[in-house]
Amino acid sequence: MSAVGSLGKNRSLTAGGAILALLVLAALVGPVLAPHDPLRIDPLHRLAGPGGEYPLGTDHLGRCVCSRLLFGARISLSASLAVSLAILVLGLAVGFVAGLGGPRTDLIVMRLVDIKLAFPSLILTLAVIGALGPSLFSASLGIVLNWWPVYARMVRGLVLAAKEKEYVLAARVTGSRGLKLVRGHLLPQVLPPALLLASLETGSLILVFAGLGFLGLGVQAPTPEWGTMLSEARNYIYTAPHLLLAPGAAIFLAVLGFNLLGEGLREALNLKEAGKW
Amino acid sequence: MTGYLIRRLLWLPPTLFGLSLICFALLHLAPGDPGELLLRQSGGPSSAESAAQFKAEMGLDKSLLQRYRLWLGRAVRLDLGESFTTGEPVRDQILSRMPATIKLALTAFGLMLAATIPIGLLSALRPQGWLDQGSRLLAVVFASLPNYWFGLLLMFLFARYWQIFNIVGHDRPADIILPALTLALGMTAVQSRLARERFLAVLSEDYIRTALAKGLNRRQVFIRHALKNALAPLLHLWGASFGYLLGGSILVETVFAWPGAARLAVDAVLNRDYPVVQGYVILMALIFVGVNLAVDLGHALLDPRIRQSLVAGEK
Amino acid sequence: MVKFLEVSGLRIGFKSPAGLVWPVDGVDLDLDRGGVLGLVGQSGSGKSLTALAIMGLLPRGAVIGGGRIVLGGQDLLQMNPVRRRRLLGRVMFITFQGSASALNPTMTVGRQLAETLVLTRGLSWAKARTRAQELMEQVNLPPELTESYAFELSGGMRQRVLVALALALEPPLLMADEPTTGLDMVTQRIVLDLLAKQKDRPGAAMIVISHDLRAVGLLADRVAVMHRGRVVDRALFKELPQKAVHPHTLELIKASRMLSLPEAVC
């Protein structure tokens, strides 16, 4: 049975892929579908229930929840992907330094990574935002500065493995050195799996982004963002509890999509366990 | 094996040094002159002259290195300065809020352990059984569930819809149940899978087969042979998870208006009250270092290879 | 006469991505009380799996695809699992290769000996501890070693502790899986001599599993040679060189002759 053959039966992969496709679609064509301007205030219809003109009701300022949700998909997805990319670049740099810099450099860099990994990222992210002041930029920077060790460790492992491949050894013997070796022989080996793994981490980034938004430390009002919407809904938990549902469910589904996809891919690529006696 | 603990202890100073650098940098390298900020916050005079005088008082005219030395000297005595907003010593402010945070994290930790060990073990005993499959699915779902949303839903259901717990209070023992449950949920999902992996690995060891071959029953084999051997690596995972529970309390304390140190820190970030944020990070770092040390000691106690090298070292 | 142990047509399979594979594919064995059977073959020939199937300790994912394992007139494969488990340590026992993982790394070897007697024979802890020290002496180990952990012992010492476990249990059917693998020549001899004493117990039967024909030769009166999940040759040990038909067996004989010292059995 081939890996491709097993993909078809992989329910996690299918479900995750379907959720993510829906999400990307919402982010792309959301502005067209949105019934209203997400920022338009309708003081006469504050905290309206779902139905009629406002499919998912309105928030405390009378803004259309459905429109805000659709626009929020753009923000969550693009911010997470941008941050993911920044982390990947930083992770690639550190990972290559550790993987190619010799055992001493490797030891020191990996120790730093270990120390950082052991320390709860959210607390240090909070510290960075504390220093720079709450904004989308400082939240992103805080996340980048705290999440790179995961990627660095992964890249280092890939580099070490790629370094021992025969044709890379051959290239080294024939005199390829430094950047030429990295660009010509190592990067093509390391980048695809690193990109794959990085995209799977995006789920946890969405979770953190929305969490920071919820705390008021990320995206600032009035920009429509799921976490911020949830934090606004919190004040009306008794009078308009339906406001809790949509933004929370959106965050949950987006993260679930990425996590299911990751679980499914791991299952599909890891044939080792099935073949092990 | 020799010197496992010593090696671990040797990493303490660099760890603490690194953390101190981060904390110092956060306060002193932030955009905007801290001295100016401080004056602005306290509503004091803003003439250039008085700002310079103030800077001299605060030692802000000195070089970065000198400032770090001064700062470190005070930080090791836990003199963390005064809050910009209240003027109270940061240490007192945070320490008065700490018990609530620790209580919440410990309760969540206890809940997590109480669920993790049986779920991990039972799914390891019957891999691909209903519990294993179910807990695998739930692990993905719960790990994706934003705990701040889950907390709000719980709050609504219990307090409003079923009217069981009163959310506003924090004094009765029952008040901790919902926040602790919220905090523990995601971590439990992940940790029970990790525990399952660990138990599964130990259960396939030769000495487990030897123990079964000797005629011990499954319960005896598990308690006497599997548990202790699975525990040492799990200890490290649990130590790390405690740190993440402390991190997660940042969100959960806000959801439930829990009067803990994490909520104080979030408010401080919103108010640009740097000394409080910094004090919170330092205290959390100290707790984190302490927990890791305890984990290393616990591992040494469980593993005779490390324990004996310690005894040999003392002789 | 009814055999003490009779294995017939035993098949053991594993699921793999390519479907079921059969590392043990129709094995027949028999053993009388007082007899010692040598099970010889390369690693992967299915000999250890056969032994594990007799014990009922097959690894996860293994399925028994057919055959019978009859011990003392009872088919183990048809037996109620709870009753079958009760045979372990009382009617049969197996010693694994004395690698570091054959003994619990976090429990002293003395305690592992003593708990066996306490939990399966109902001895008091005090008596069991004394008995553990006696057992250590019986396998030529200093009794103080009861206080050591597996990682502090050499491979030969660990193998002897496993033999001491067998002595503690005195099972009617004892199996030794690769008892001499990884040991130096002198230690091999010590371990084999200790196992040889085991077979003198009245009514005891033994199966010695090894890839080394000479090691088996010191103990076994009969040998079965396994290759790719089947028994390809079986004979009295003395007659094996004459009766062997399978090329794999001939190769094993040749290899053991080349290695053998003048006083060795082959």
How do residues A79-118 score in pLDDT, each as one tens digit? Answer: 888 898 899 999 999 988 888 888 888 888 888 887 777 7
Give me the pLDDT at residue B188, please: 92
CA–CA dist A40, B250 (Å, integer): 32
- DSSP designation for C211: S
**Which chains have 3+ CB pairs within 8 A of A?**
B, C
Most distant pair of Cα atoms in chain B: their distance: 86
Of the listed ranges A17-31, B45-59, B127-141, B295-309, the least confidently predicted one is B45-59
Query: From the CA of A40, how many Å to the nearest CA of chain B?
Result: 25
Of A99-108, B177-186, C52-61, C155-164, the least confident? A99-108
Which whole-number Å values give the CA distances from A81 to A15, A74, A205, B59, in the listed order? 21, 10, 9, 42
Q: To the nearest whole percent, how much of chain C has pLDDT over 90?
A: 49
- Mapped onto helix, strand or coil, the DSSP state of residue C230 is strand
Q: Write down the residue that tokens 């550790």 correspond to.
A: A98
B78-107 average pLDDT score: 88
- Is B277–A127 a contact, with Cβ atoms under 8 angstroms apart? yes
How close does chain C come to A4, measured CA to CA in Å? 13
- The alpha carbon of residue B28 and the mean position of all alpha carbons in its chain are separated, in whole angstroms, by 25
Instruction: Report percent pLDDT > 70 for chain C.
Output: 96
Q: Is the pLDDT of residue A271 over 60?
A: no
Residues on chain C touching B205 (C-beta within 8 angstroms): 101
> What per-residue confidence (pLDDT) applies to A2?
42
Size of interface A-B (CB pairs under 8 A): 132
The shortest C-alpha distance from B177 to chain A (Å) reads 19
- In this complex, do B206 and C169 lie within 8 Å of one another by their Cβ atoms? no
Which member of B213, B229, B304 has the closest CB to residue C89?
B213
- The residue-averaged pLDDT of C137-146 equals 91
Q: What is the pLDDT of residue B46?
A: 53
Nearest to B209 among C57, C115, C149 (CB): C57
Contact A168, A185 (CB under 8 A): yes
Q: Is the pLDDT of residue C172 over 90?
A: yes
Torsions phi, psi of C216, nearest 5? -65, -35
| Cβ–Cβ contact C86 with B under 8 A | yes
Q: What is the dihedral of CA C49, C54, C56, C60, to 10 degrees?
A: 10
Q: Which of C14, C17, C59 sits opposite A1 (nearest CB)?
A: C17
Residues A275, C16: C-beta atoms closer than 8 Å: yes
Q: What is the tens place of the pLDDT at every residue in C48-58?
A: 999 999 999 99
Q: What is the mean pLDDT of residues A200-228?
A: 86
> What does pTM read for this prediction?
0.81
Residues of A in contact with B251 (CB under 8 A): 122, 211, 214-215
Whether B127 has its CB under 8 Å from any CB of chain A: the answer is: no
pLDDT over 70 at A1, yes or no:
no
Question: Which residues from C are below 8 Å from A when comparing CB atoms?
Answer: 14-18, 23, 59, 61-62
Which of B2, B209, B214, B227 is the best substitution to test chain C (most C C-beta atoms within 10 A)? B214
> Which partners does chain B have (≥3 C-beta pairs < 8 Å)?
A, C
Q: Which residues of B touch C116 (CB under 8 A)?
A: 214-216
Do the Cβ atoms of C18 and C42 come closer than 8 Å?
Answer: no
Which pairing describes strands C36-40 and C92-95: parallel, antiparallel, or unpaired? unpaired
- Whether C208 has a pLDDT exceeding 90, the answer reads yes
What is the chain A residue with the closest CA to C14? A277
Burial code of A85-107, b = ≥16 C-beta within 10 A, e = fewer? ebbbebbbebbbbbbbeeeeebe
3-class DSSP assignment, residue B162: coil
- Say if the Cβ atoms of B146 and A252 lie within 8 Å: yes
Distance between CA C195 and CA B31 in Å, rounded?
Answer: 78
User: Best interface-test mutation with A: which of C14, C16, C48, C52 has the largest number of A CBs within 10 A?
Assistant: C16
CB spacing of B27 vs A238 below 8 angstroms: no
Any bridge partners for residue B88, and if so which?
A: none
Residue C61: list chain A partners with CB under 8 A: 277
Q: Parallel, antiparallel, or unpaired: how do β-strands C230-236 and C74-75 relate?
A: unpaired
